[in-house]
Amino acid sequence: MKIHHLLLLSIATFGLSSLAQDAGVATIELKPDAKNPLGYDKTELSVTAGQKVKLTLNNTGSIAPQPHNFLLLKPGKLDAVGQLANAMLADPQGMAKSYIPEAAKADIVINTKLVQPNQSETIEFTAPAEPGDYPYMCTFPGHWLLMRGVMHVTK
List pLDDT tens digits, range 28-64.
999 999 888 899 999 999 999 999 999 999 999 888 8
Distances (CA, A) of 49 to 125, 130, 153: 12, 6, 5
User: Quick check: 91 pLDDT over 70?
Assistant: yes
Please determine, for residue 19, whether its predicted confidence score (pLDDT) is greater than 70. Answer: no
User: How far is residue 134's CA from residue 61's CA, in Å, rounded to a whole number?
Assistant: 26
Concatenated DSSP letters for 34-77? SS-TTSBS-SEEEEETT-EEEEEEEE-S-SS---B--EEE-TT-
pTM summary value: 0.84
Within 10 A of 41 (CB to CB), how many other CB atoms are there?
15
Alpha-helical runs (H) found in the chain? 2-23, 78-87
Q: Over pLDDT 70: what percentage of the chain?
A: 85
**In degrees rounded to 5, what are phi and psi of residue 113?**
-80, 180
Average pLDDT, the chain: 88
- pLDDT of 23: 54
Burial (CB < 10 A; 0-12, 13-18, 19+), residue 81, is: buried
73-89: pLDDT as tens digits? 999 999 999 999 999 99
Pick the CATH number of 25-154 from 3.30.70.1450, 2.60.40.420, 3.40.50.800, 3.40.50.300: 2.60.40.420
Number of Cβ atoms within 10 Å of the Cβ of 69: 22
